[in-house]
Amino acid sequence: MVKTRNFMTKLLTLAALAGLGMLHVAKADSYSETSTFYYAGPETGTTDNPFSIVNVGGNAASTLNLTNAGVSGTLTINTVTNPAITLTGADFSVTLYGVPNGLLSSGKLVTGTYNFSSGSDYFGIETAGNGATTGFGCNAGQTCNVGANPVDQVTLNVAANGVVTLSSSSLELVTQVSTQPTTGVPEIDPSSALSPLALLGGAVMIFRGRRRRA
């Protein structure tokens, strides 16, 4: 009887650990949307963007090629491979590394603030008149901040109203996505979640069989 209980205890422990492990398995997810992106600089009001978002320490909009009319850009995010985030448009390019945790849920953005600080990060906006390369190994014609020189942290903020900001110290871009963000929780793949239950069911059947023989 003692051996049976020990066997049962081990199986139940294994099932519990398997179940907890499944909770931490990140499901592959992705997101892509094309929308109008605006610049957020030190000017107040809607001078730079229609959302009245201000970056007090930012470069003046007059030094960049972006106007308050905005420029179309495509934001792409994935939770598996790097770069995790890319933003491409005629007047800007952003590449961020480090797979984001909790940023996506079933293909939707999740509200919150997310930080990126990889040495491979790049955040660039075209200079006024598409001038020459501006410092830090920027792409031709861009003013930029890069992760390695110096180490620069990029912040992505997703608001409940769909306004998304990408900020890199002196540079900031803002848009409003068409799909309403969610306040999601980490998902569990249904097929994976059943595994510990199946193990537990098997343990119960074995236990019952042993009790009958006893």
Average pLDDT over residues 66-90: 95
Q: Which residue has the higher pLDDT, 20 or 130?
A: 130
Convert 112-136 to b/e letters by CB count within 10 Å (16 or more is b).
Answer: eebebebeebbbbbbbeeeeeebeb
3-state SS record for 33-70: EEEEEEECCCCCCCCCCCCCCCCCCCCCHHHECCCCCC
How many Cα atoms within 13 Å fall on the side-chain side of residue 31?
A: 23
Q: Which residue has the higher pLDDT, 112 or 185?
A: 112
* pLDDT of 52: 95
Q: Where are the domains of the chain?
A: 30-176
* pLDDT of 190: 43
Give the model confidence (pLDDT) of 170-202 as tens digits: 999 999 999 999 985 544 444 444 454 444 455
Confidence bin at 169 (pLDDT 50/70/90): confident
Nearest Cα to 184, choosing from 76, 110, 92?
Answer: 110
Average pLDDT over residues 40-64: 93
* pLDDT of 10: 53
Average pLDDT over residues 11-18: 44
Q: Which residue has the higher pLDDT, 69 or 100?
A: 69
Q: Is it true that the peptide bond before 181 is cis, omega within 30 degrees of 0? A: no
Average pLDDT over residues 62-89: 95
Main-chain phi, psi angles of 131, to 5 degrees: -70, -170
Q: Is residue 38's pLDDT more than 90?
A: yes
Instruction: Spell out the long-range contacts of 158-164 with Cβ–Cβ below 8 A and sequence spacing 24 or more.
Output: 158/103, 158/109, 158/110, 158/111, 158/112, 158/113, 158/114, 159/111, 160/111, 163/51, 163/53, 164/75, 164/109
